[in-house]
Amino acid sequence: MRQGVNDVKTQVGRNDRCPCGSGRKYKHCCERKVSGWSPGQRALFVLVLVVLVGGLVLAVSSRQEPTGPQMGVWSEEHGHYH
């Protein structure tokens, strides 16, 4: 009877008995098998996301715009820095 578990997800409430016949509530039995990511996968995704956002914040905050003398020498003849 487990073959139709994916089909009955929309028909079975979380607190109803699982249609697979185990006698347990659906939320503690087959709902985990049809609901996206496992807790470990979600934790890994969040960790990777935090690292990427942290790296982006670090890259943006450490970026410095060049100013006057660091850009070069002002050329009156050409009207810009060299």
Contacts of 14 (CB under 8 A, 6+ apart): 25, 26, 27, 31
More confident residue, 2 or 80: 80
Q: What is the pLDDT of residue 61?
A: 86
Q: What is the pLDDT of residue 8?
A: 46
Q: Where are the domains of the chain?
A: 2-49
**How many whole angstroms separate alpha carbon 58 and alpha carbon 62?**
6
pLDDT at position 1 over 70: no
**How many whole angstroms separate alpha carbon 70 and alpha carbon 63?**
14
Q: pTM to 2 decimals?
A: 0.42
User: pLDDT per residue over 17-75, tens digit each?
Assistant: 888 888 888 888 887 777 677 788 889 999 999 999 999 999 888 877 666 556 678 88
According to DSSP, residue 36 is labeled S
